[in-house]
């Protein structure tokens, strides 16, 4: 990103406006926001950052995912299910939730391990690597392509698309939105073409095959519905896991004692990953719209308000978590909202957890001893999602 | 001791089933339900932990944990 775009681009998150903001260590600013009284952005956007306000706010029936005009992430139509509400939303979640339960996603475990190892093979003998382009970036995209049943050669289509949507280029918000929509249009076209090809083939046992044969209230999904669902899965499933994995591997690179604990006890990883998802909060925020005047825990939200809901702040709220700035793998209970909360809680969280767990487990099995390359440092972005966009590591090469 | 999951609140975070599989399982849609009711001997602490660890405040344990017992949700 050029200096010019940085100076005039819209501020992504209320926490970025605080003096305590630090790209590398944003948790301090998020904690400040979590304990602020009724935070509001200068443009009037209301901010919900306290953990204890969040659950009640999100489940209120007047709190909606969109205002019916603004759709998320370059969508020209409402993303299914992210941009839908109420009964329509429940119907689609009823269709999609069963596809992403822990039991359903568990069958992807061999593919996840195999793909992780294939990517590690490419740099294991080098003794150094930038883990973003060599592992974190491609892994979720490869797996997603397998899940949908698309050719692996289409990898660049997805990598280009997600970059354009998650970190749109442009000097103004209008330019960014236009570039995002253009990338979105290319993805809609790609998915429409794929779907037409798949309709002409015998049914296959993958997600698109499932969407082509499944029924919602006794009717087959339309082509547009399938395209809209796939668009959402692409945008929600690629950069989030990439970013989360980069945060985890960066954290372990800089915390050797904790890393050795995990190497010695891989069975602890599910709990470890939940704690790091709390602390790192790779998806920092979401937006909601309020459709009528409501009061939540003494705070008034007028009808028509746009609200910035900051998961990353809630996750380090000292009123909700003991010593929230400490990563504590033995934290007795951890009601974090790293996968959001309320009706739009992350559909793919169980797949994300599985990918993160197996990728970290395989990486630490192959490369238990690694650190940030001397003279280099981790470069984080916190725009759109938090990610270690530059993650140069060095490690001893295993012999024999 | 009784533990319940409010199905209208559960959003399928699955943390309860991950940490206390003897008390909770997930249905075909990924939402939690109680598999051991009343709470068996020795799982009382796990029930309170699950209650405090539910992001949707969907889990309720009766009787309430005594206020002096430390980890009670605030």
What ipTM was estimated for this complex? 0.89
pLDDT in the model for residue A233: 87
Look up the CATH number of the domain holding residue B26: 3.30.70.20
Residue B23 within any structural domain of the chain: yes
Q: Is B54's CB within 8 Å of A342's CB?
A: no
C-alpha pair distances (Å), A245 with each of A179, A347, B28, B38: 27, 18, 28, 39
List of residues 6+ apart from A174 with CB closer than 8 A: none
Domain count, chain B: 1
Residues of the domain holding B33: 2-62
Instruction: Give the CA radius of gyration of chain B.
Output: 11
Residue B27 within any structural domain of the chain: yes
Q: Is B13 near chain A, with CB under 8 Å?
A: yes
Q: What is the pLDDT of residues A318-366, one digit of tens each?
A: 999 999 999 999 999 999 999 999 999 999 999 999 999 999 999 999 9
Q: Measured between alpha carbons, how far is A121 from A138 in angstroms, rounded to an integer?
A: 14
- Which residues from chain A sit within 8 angstroms of residue B49, using beta carbons? 332-333
What is the bridge-based pairing of β-strands A392-394 and A387-390? unpaired
Q: Is A341's CB within 8 Å of B55's CB?
A: yes
Q: What is residue B21's three-state secondary structure?
A: coil
Q: Measured between alpha carbons, how far is A321 from A336 in angstroms, rounded to an integer?
A: 9
What structural domains does chain A harbor? 3-394 (1.10.630.10)
Q: 0.80 cut: is pTM over it?
A: yes
pLDDT in the model for residue A1: 35
pLDDT in the model for residue B68: 59
Q: Which of B6, B8, B9, B11 to mutate to test the interface with A (most CBs of A within 10 A)?
A: B11
Query: In a 10 Å sphere around its CB, with 0-12 CB exposed, 13-18 middle and 19+ buried, how is residue A362 labelled?
Result: buried
A333 → closest Cβ in B29, B31, B53:
B53
Q: Is A274's CB within 8 Å of B9's CB?
A: no
- Using a pLDDT cut of 90, give the percent of chain A over it: 67
Q: What is the pLDDT of residues A131-145, one digit of tens each?
A: 999 999 999 999 988
Q: Is B26 near chain A, with CB under 8 Å?
A: yes
Report the gap between the CA of B68 and the closest CA in chain A (Å): 16
């Amino acid at each position: 990103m050029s200096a010019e775009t940085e100076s005039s681009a819209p501020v992504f998150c209320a926490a970025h406006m605080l003096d305590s903001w630090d790209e590398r260590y944003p948790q301090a600013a998020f904690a400040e926001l979590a304990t602020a009284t009724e935070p509001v952005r200068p443009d009037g956007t209301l901010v919900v950052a306290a953990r204890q306000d969040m659950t009640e706010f999100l489940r209120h029936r007047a709190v909606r995912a969109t205002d019916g005009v603004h759709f998320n992430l370059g969508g020209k139509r409402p993303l299914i299910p992210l941009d839908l509400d109420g009964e329509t939303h429940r119907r689609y979640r009823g269709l999609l939730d069963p596809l992403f339960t822990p039991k359903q996603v568990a069958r992807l475990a061999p593919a996840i391990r195999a793909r992780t190892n294939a990517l590690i093979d490419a740099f294991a003998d080098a003794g150094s690597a930038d883990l973003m382009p060599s592992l974190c970036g491609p892994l979720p995209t490869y797996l997603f392509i397998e899940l949908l049943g698309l050719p692996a050669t289409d990898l660049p289509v997805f990598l280009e698309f997600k970059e354009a949507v998650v970190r749109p280029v442009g000097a103004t918000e209008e330019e960014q939105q236009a570039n995002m929509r253009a990338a979105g249009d290319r993805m809609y076209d790609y998915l429409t073409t794929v779907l037409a090809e798949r309709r002409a083939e015998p049914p296959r046992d993958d997600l698109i095959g499932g969407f082509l044969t499944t029924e919602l209230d006794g009717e087959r999904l339309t082509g547009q519905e399938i395209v809209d669902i796939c668009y959402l899965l692409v945008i929600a499933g690629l950069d989030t896991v990439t970013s989360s994995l980069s945060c985890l591997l960066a954290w372990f690179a800089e915390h050797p004692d904790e890393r050795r604990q995990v190497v010695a006890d891989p069975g602890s990883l599910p709990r470890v990953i939940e704690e790091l998802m709390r602390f790192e909060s790779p998806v920092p925020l979401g937006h909601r719209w309020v459709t009528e005047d409501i009061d939540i825990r003494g705070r008034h939200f007028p009808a028509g308000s746009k609200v910035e809901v900051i998961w990353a702040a809630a996750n380090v709220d000292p009123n909700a978590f003991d010593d929230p700035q400490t990563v504590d793998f033995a934290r007795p209970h951890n009601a974090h909202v790293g996968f959001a909360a309320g009706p739009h809680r992350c559909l793919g969280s169980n797949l994300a957890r599985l990918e993160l767990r197996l990728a970290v487990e395989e990486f630490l099995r192959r490369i238990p001893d690694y650190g940030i390359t001397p003279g280099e440092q981790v470069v984080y972005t916190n725009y759109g999602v938090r990610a270690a966009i530059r993650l140069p590591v060095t490690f001893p090469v295993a012999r024999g | 001791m009784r533990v319940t999951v409010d199905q209208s609140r559960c959003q399928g975070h699955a943390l309860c089933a991950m940490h206390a599989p003897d008390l909770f399982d997930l249905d075909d849609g990924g939402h939690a339900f109680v598999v051991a009711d009343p709470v068996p001997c020795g799982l009382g602490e796990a029930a309170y932990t699950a209650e405090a660890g539910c992001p949707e405040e969907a889990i309720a344990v009766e009787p309430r944990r005594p206020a002096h017992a430390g980890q009670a949700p605030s």
